[in-house]
């Protein structure tokens, strides 16, 4: 079930979206497999700490976050992944359910969407749940998350999989 906070955010913004129910999944790869979707249409979200603030990075499921690019975009000296405890405390969600749509109203949390997502008509994004996601246009996702569209990803190196990232 979608969190009350997310439903309120979507209603307030008059969002155009569809709730997609599915079996319990923990990764973008699992979600794509379960729903028989292309991995590149799954918007995976990662919370990073950048100097003294936080940023949710949103990249396609078939790409990897490039922390060097993120550092440059943010003009930060230090950028790194956060711990599960930070995700739970800062975003009030369980690790693995991070949604860029939940950043609204949280102090010191920005959102960056990878430019490779920006042209997609439909993306599936996290909704703070292991059993539901939201489907919307990439443009709508960017608007709702008040995100900046930038280049923050890279293709996985050959022989490497992005199943768990």
Interatomic CA distance for residues 123 and 121, integer angstroms? 7
The yes/no answer on whether domain 4-144 falls in CATH 3.90.960.10 is yes
pLDDT at site 159: 60
- For 7-32, write each residue's pLDDT tens digit: 888 999 999 999 999 999 999 999 99
- Measured between alpha carbons, how far is 67 from 47 in angstroms, rounded to an integer? 12
Domain residue spans in the chain?
4-144
CB-neighbour burial class of residue 77 (10 A; exposed 0-12, middle 13-18, buried 19+): exposed
Residues making up the chain, counted from first to last: 165
pLDDT(84) > 80: yes
| pLDDT tens for each residue of 85-130 | 999 999 988 998 999 998 877 888 999 999 999 889 999 999 989 9
67: left (phi over 0), alpha (psi -120 to 50) or beta: alpha
Helix, strand or coil, per DSSP, at residue 46? strand
DSSP symbol at 130:
S
Q: Please provide the distance, in angstroms rounded to a whole number, between the alpha carbons at the two ends of the chain.
A: 24
Report the pLDDT value the prediction gives residue 164, as an integer from 0 to 100: 45
**In angstroms, what CA-CA distances link 40 with 18, 26, 58, 106, 152?**
18, 16, 12, 28, 15
- pLDDT given at position 165: 47
CA distances from 163 to 32, 75, 116, 136 (A): 10, 29, 18, 23
Give Cα separations from 101 to 34, 46, 141, 156 (angstroms).
Answer: 22, 12, 8, 26
For the stretch 120-164, pLDDT in tens is: 999 999 998 999 999 999 999 999 999 999 999 999 877 655 444
Output the pTM of the full model. 0.91
């Amino acid at each position: 079930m979608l969190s009350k906070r997310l439903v309120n955010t979507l209603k307030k913004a008059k969002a155009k979206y569809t709730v997609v129910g599915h079996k319990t999944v923990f990764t973008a790869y699992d979600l794509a497999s379960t729903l028989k979707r292309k991995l590149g249409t799954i918007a995976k979200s990662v919370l990073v700490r950048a100097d003294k603030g936080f940023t949710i990075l949103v990249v396609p499921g078939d790409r990897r976050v490039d922390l060097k690019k993120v550092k440059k975009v943010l003009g930060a000296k230090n950028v790194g992944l956060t711990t599960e405890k930070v995700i739970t405390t800062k975003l009030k969600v369980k690790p693995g359910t991070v949604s860029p749509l939940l950043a609204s109203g949280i102090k010191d949390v920005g959102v960056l969407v990878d430019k490779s997502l920006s042209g997609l008509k439909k993306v599936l994004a996290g909704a703070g749940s292991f059993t539901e996601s939201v489907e919307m246009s990439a443009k709508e996702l960017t608007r709702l998350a008040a995100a900046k569209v930038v280049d923050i990803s890279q293709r996985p190196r050959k022989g490497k999989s992005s199943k768990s990232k």
